[in-house]
Structure 1
Amino acid sequence: MLGDSCVDLGQGFPNFDPPEFVVQALRDELEGPVVGAVRTRHQYTRTAGHVTLVEALAERYEGHLGRPLDPMKEVAVTVGATNALFLAMQAALARGHGREIVALEPFFELYRSQARGLHAEFRSVPLRFDEEAHAFELDEAALAEALGPDTCALIVNTPHNPTGKAFEEWELKAIAKLVEQHPHILVISDEVYKYMIFDPPSGSPSTAKDAPKGHVHFAKLPGMWERTLTVSSAGKTFGITGWQIGWLIGPKQWMEPIQRFMPNLQFCAPTLTQRALCRVLRQAAQPFHGLESYYEWLRQDYARRRDIMVNALEAGGIKTARSQGGFFLLGDISGLSGPDGPLHESWQASLRPGEAADWTTCRALAAEIGIVSLPVSPFFGHGTAEHIRTRFARFCFAKTDATLEEAAKRLKSLRA
Structure 2
Amino acid sequence: MYCTHWLKCMQTTQNLLHYSINRKVSTSMMNLFRHKNAKRIEGLDKNVWVEFTKLAAAPGVVNLGQGFPDMPPPPHITEALANAAVGENFMLNQYTRGFVIIIEPFFDCYEPMVKMAGGIPVFISLKPVQEKVEQDISDSGDWKLDEEELSGKFNSRTKAIIINTPNNPLGKVFKMEELKMIADLCIKHDVLCISDEVYEWLVYNGHKHIKIGTLPGMWDRTITIGSAGKTFSVTGWKLGWSIGPAHLIKHLQTVQQNTIYTCNTPIQEAVAQGIWKEYGRLTDKDCYFLSLPRELEAKRNRMAKFLHTVRMKPIIPEGGYFMIVDISALDVDISKVEENEPYDNLFVKWMIKNKKLAAIPVTSFVSDQSKCHFEKYIRFCFIKQDSTLNSAETILKNWK
**TM-score, normalised via structure 1 length:** 0.71
Contact kept in structure 2, 1:327 and 1:397, CA below 8 Å: yes
User: How many angstroms apart in 2 are the aligned matches of 1:144 and 1:354?
Assistant: 35
- 1:233 paired with 2:227, answer yes
Indicate the residue corresponding to 2:355 in structure 1.
369
Contact kept in structure 2, 1:164 and 1:325, CA below 8 Å: yes
Contact kept in structure 1, 2:170 and 2:324, CA below 8 Å: yes
Indicate the residue corresponding to 1:193 in structure 2.
199
Specify which structure has the bigger relative contact order, considering alpha-carbon pairs within 8 angstroms and separated by 6 or more residues: 1
- 1:106 paired with 2:105, answer yes
User: How many angstroms apart in 2 are the aligned matches of 1:358 and 1:190?
Assistant: 26
Indicate the residue corresponding to 2:71 in structure 1.
none
> How much has 1:109 moved relative to structure 2?
1.0
User: How many angstroms apart in 1 are the aligned matches of 2:11 and 2:318?
Assistant: 26
* SS in structure 1 of the partner of residue 398 of structure 2: helix
Indicate the residue corresponding to 1:243 in structure 2.
237
User: How many angstroms apart in 1 are the aligned matches of 2:393 and 2:144?
Assistant: 28
1:176-191 aligned within 5 A: 176-183=183-190, 185-191=191-197
Identical counterparts, % of pairs: 30
1:333-372 aligned within 5 A: 333-339=327-333, 347=334, 351-372=337-358
> How much has 1:254 moved relative to structure 2?
0.9
User: How many angstroms apart in 2 are the aligned matches of 1:155 and 1:89?
Assistant: 14
> How much has 1:93 moved relative to structure 2?
3.1
Contact kept in structure 2, 1:244 and 1:269, CA below 8 Å: no
Q: Return the letter of the residue paired with 1:126.
A: S
Q: Return the letter of the residue paired with 2:205.
A: D
Relative to structure 1, the CA distance from residue 298 to residue 338 in structure 2 (aligned partners, 3 Å threshold; closer, same or farther) is: closer
Relative to structure 1, the CA distance from residue 413 to residue 116 in structure 2 (aligned partners, 3 Å threshold; closer, same or farther) is: same
Q: Return the letter of the residue paired with 2:393.
A: A
C-alpha RMSD over aligned residues: 2.3
* SS in structure 2 of the partner of residue 194 of structure 1: coil
> How much has 1:225 moved relative to structure 2?
0.4
1:165 to 160, 172, 177: 172
* SS in structure 1 of the partner of residue 109 of structure 2: helix
- 1:409 paired with 2:333, answer no
User: How many angstroms apart in 2 are the aligned matches of 1:337 and 1:89?
Assistant: 45
Relative to structure 1, the CA distance from residue 385 to residue 243 in structure 2 (aligned partners, 3 Å threshold; closer, same or farther) is: closer
Indicate the residue corresponding to 2:252 in structure 1.
258
Q: Return the letter of the residue paired with 2:158.
A: T
Q: Deviations over 1:123-147 (max 9, x none)?
A: 1101121133333122211111111
User: How many angstroms apart in 2 are the aligned matches of 1:129 and 1:354?
Assistant: 27
Relative to structure 1, the CA distance from residue 89 to residue 246 in structure 2 (aligned partners, 3 Å threshold; closer, same or farther) is: farther
2:267 to 268, 273, 276: 273
Q: Deviations over 1:297-336 (max 9, x none)?
A: 0110111111111112111210012311111001101223
Q: Return the letter of the residue paired with 2:172.
A: K
Runs of 5+ unmatched residues, structure 1: 1-74, 202-213, 340-346
Indicate the residue corresponding to 1:93 in structure 2.
17
1:306 to 300, 303, 328: 300
User: How many angstroms apart in 2 are the aligned matches of 1:287 and 1:229?
Assistant: 26
* SS in structure 1 of the partner of residue 368 of structure 2: coil
* SS in structure 1 of the partner of residue 123 of structure 2: strand
* SS in structure 1 of the partner of residue 313 of structure 2: coil
> How much has 1:397 moved relative to structure 2?
0.7
Indicate the residue corresponding to 2:66 in structure 1.
none
* SS in structure 2 of the partner of residue 222 of structure 1: coil
Relative to structure 1, the CA distance from residue 93 to residue 281 in structure 2 (aligned partners, 3 Å threshold; closer, same or farther) is: closer
> How much has 1:217 moved relative to structure 2?
0.5
> How much has 1:286 moved relative to structure 2?
5.4
- 1:396 paired with 2:381, answer yes
Relative to structure 1, the CA distance from residue 290 to residue 221 in structure 2 (aligned partners, 3 Å threshold; closer, same or farther) is: closer
> How much has 1:253 moved relative to structure 2?
1.1
Contact kept in structure 1, 2:18 and 2:251, CA below 8 Å: no
User: How many angstroms apart in 2 are the aligned matches of 1:157 and 1:287?
Assistant: 27
* SS in structure 1 of the partner of residue 378 of structure 2: strand
> How much has 1:177 moved relative to structure 2?
1.3
* SS in structure 2 of the partner of residue 155 of structure 1: strand
> How much has 1:288 moved relative to structure 2?
9.6
User: How many angstroms apart in 2 are the aligned matches of 1:287 and 1:254?
Assistant: 31
User: How many angstroms apart in 1 are the aligned matches of 2:180 and 2:342?
Assistant: 36
- 1:295 paired with 2:289, answer yes
Runs of 5+ unmatched residues, structure 2: 20-94, 134-141
Indicate the residue corresponding to 1:123 in structure 2.
122
1:142 to 136, 143, 149: 149
Contact kept in structure 1, 2:313 and 2:326, CA below 8 Å: yes
User: How many angstroms apart in 1 are the aligned matches of 2:160 and 2:296?
Assistant: 32
**TM-score, normalised via structure 2 length:** 0.74
After alignment, is 136-145 or 90-99 more displaced? 90-99
Q: Return the letter of the residue paired with 2:204.
A: F
User: How many angstroms apart in 2 are the aligned matches of 1:112 and 1:263?
Assistant: 24
Contact kept in structure 2, 1:100 and 1:153, CA below 8 Å: yes
Number of residue pairs matched?
A: 316
* SS in structure 2 of the partner of residue 331 of structure 1: strand
